[in-house]
Amino acid sequence: MYLVCGEALFDFFSDNDASGLASQVNFKAIAGGSPFNVAVGLRRLGVDAALFAGLSTDYLGRRLLKVLQDENVRTDYLLDCAAPTTLAMVALGANGSPQYSFRGEGCADRQLKPEHLPTLGPEVRGLHFGSFSLVVQPIADTLLALVRRESGQRLISLDPNVRLNPQPDIELWRSRIDSLVEHADLIKVSDEDLHLLCLDQEPAQVIEGWLQHRCQVVFLTRGGDGATVFSRAHGAWSVPAQPVQIADTVGAGDTFQAALIAWLTEQQLDSVEGVRQLSRQQIDDMARFAVRAAALTCGKTGPDLPYRHQLDIR
């Protein structure tokens, strides 16, 4: 079982308004948040998964809970909170790339504290961490404590998924990611996020620094240019993108992340030792599997992550 840790929220997408009235804005609300999406994505890909998160007891929070239950994501690591549900207002750019504005200060998914850290049994083979829960308090310090506690005992995967709206302090992001990469076995990062984190360093130089710690492999996603793999044991190479008619890219990175974990699970390599012993061919197969999965999400509107059987259709 994989434990995904972080936020759960609702994305509010503005619909095209045919009336043209400035006083009227129509929205379509979709359950999301990067960790939430990864947990759902894992279940759709056949991996037993749970979400460690704070969920509001308000209407939207109960809807999030219902989604998790419907998707068969385990809910025994959730914390009920009286605080409201985080809202992310999403506008799509011309290339389908999302632009976010968050309403999250004091909301439920930020309320996890060190005393809420769960005791994990042997059924939990790995943990995934990512997005703005890494840098907003009190959850940020709670997740860092969990990473430090479990590193070396279970597979740790990390996706920075930098979001400057909920936390605009990029130096805080850089400092916290620097702390987390010391404990991760596998890292996925987008080229946009890496550009923000790099400061004046070359991206490859930053990634090579990450590989000097525990990390065995880094996947750099590059949108329509595919992905580049950086392996401690086997060097660097790229895999091409999958051709697709893009609806939008919302959830594509989360799909890529879930697919990496699902591939490892299917191959019974979802462990610290399993990732260490990956061959170049296995890493390449894993990257191509993730690229294929992400392309399916890009062909649909919103974070509609694929099911495992869809990846067998060529």
Question: pLDDT (tens digit, 9 = 90+) per residue, 182-220?
Answer: 999 999 999 999 999 998 889 899 999 999 999 999 999
Specify the DSSP class assigned to residue 91: E
d(CA 40, CA 4): 10
- Predicted confidence band of residue 129 (pLDDT cuts 50, 70, 90): very high
**Strand bridging mode 27-32 / 9-14:** antiparallel
Look at residue 247 in the predicted model and tell me its pLDDT. Answer: 74
Confidence band for 95, pLDDT divided at 50, 70 and 90: low
Would you state the pLDDT for residue 101? 81
Name which of 89-103, 222-236, 238-252, 286-300 the model is least confident about: 89-103
Contact 69, 20 (CB under 8 A): no
- The mean pLDDT value for 57-62 works out to 97
Q: What's the half-sphere exposure (Cβ side, CA atoms, 13 Å) at 187?
A: 30
Residue scoring higher pLDDT (102 or 96):
102
Q: How many CB atoms lie within 10 A of CB 242?
A: 16
pTM of the model: 0.94
Question: Which are the contacts of 134, defined by CB distance < 8 A and separation ≥ 6?
Answer: 6, 140, 143, 144, 160, 173, 176, 177, 180
| pLDDT at residue 19 is higher than 70 | no
Q: Is the pLDDT of residue 84 over 70?
A: yes
Q: Mark 283-311 as b/e (b = at least 16 C-beta within 10 Å).
A: bbebbbbbbbbbbbbbbbebbbbbeeeeb
β strands within 86-224, DSSP E: 86-92, 98-103, 126-130, 155-159, 186-190, 217-221
Residues 93-98: what's their mean pLDDT? 63
CA distances 101 to 90, 98, 242, Å, are: 7, 10, 30
Tens-place pLDDT, residues 225-256: 999 999 999 999 999 998 888 777 878 999 99
What average pLDDT does this structure show over 271-291? 98
Q: Is 68 within 8 Å of 51 (Cβ atoms)? A: yes
Across all residues in the chain, what is the average pLDDT? 93
CA distance 268 to 310: 21
User: For the chain, which residues make up each domain, given as ranges?
Assistant: 2-12+29-307
Q: Which CATH number is 2-12+29-307's, of 3.30.465.10, 1.10.1270.20, 3.40.50.300, 3.40.1190.20?
A: 3.40.1190.20
In whole angstroms, what is the distance from residue 269 CA to residue 262 CA? Answer: 10
The single-letter code of the amino acid at 269 is L
Sign of CA dihedral 103, 92, 130, 312: positive
Distance CA 170, CA 164 (A): 7
